[in-house]
A and B are shown apart, each in its own frame.
Chain A
């Protein structure tokens, strides 16, 4: 059975801190790993990673995938209160499950002023 594990489950920091969120996985037929941010409503897409070692960056957020060690990290530098959200890691696989997303439990990030 495919498994996605995120850590920590929750994190409380102050504005300006840097945070690293972890996502490890065990899947057969890996295709891609995605990061989403969820505030009050539906998740919004952050990154999709398919290749090892290539960092994806968007402003203060960056992410990288290690397909040998089966994990990904999401970094947020100089955190702001608007970064408070649930961060979700999800995987897609091939075969009959093509297109399905398997989500991790999520990391609840709280950024205090």
Chain B
């Protein structure tokens, strides 16, 4: 149980385009989902907290107009990187907290984004 999927697992896009990444909790309902970014050999940096049916809460320094988050249902959150640039290239990981176990986060497999 407690599986989180992400799609796509890898994406290459041209500079200026937008990329949407999906995060799904497959066998549980997630009231809260989190989006992280990770650079090579570094730790995870929290970008935003996404609550179902409400606006996401962004961490300091993360541009909300650049990284659009939508949490439309209890099993799906999406992150859209708008007008992507090469410096947005990174590993993006989502996690989801089940309703009953809000201190436990289950991580998705991550999405590797390369912007050319």
Contacts and interface: CB of A to CB of B under 8 A. Distances in A.
Interface residues of A, number: 22
Chain B contact-residue range equals 20 to 34
Given A48-B104, A92-B103, A99 B41 contact: no
Interface string B20-43: 000000000000101000000111
Contacts of B102: 98-99
A106 B42 contact: yes
B109 interface: yes
A100 B34 contact: yes
B44 interface: yes
A45 B49 CA distance: 19
Contact of B110 (A31, A36, A42, A88): A42
Interface of A: 31-32, 36, 41-45, 48, 86, 88, 92, 98-106, 108
Most buried by B among A42, A44, A86: A42
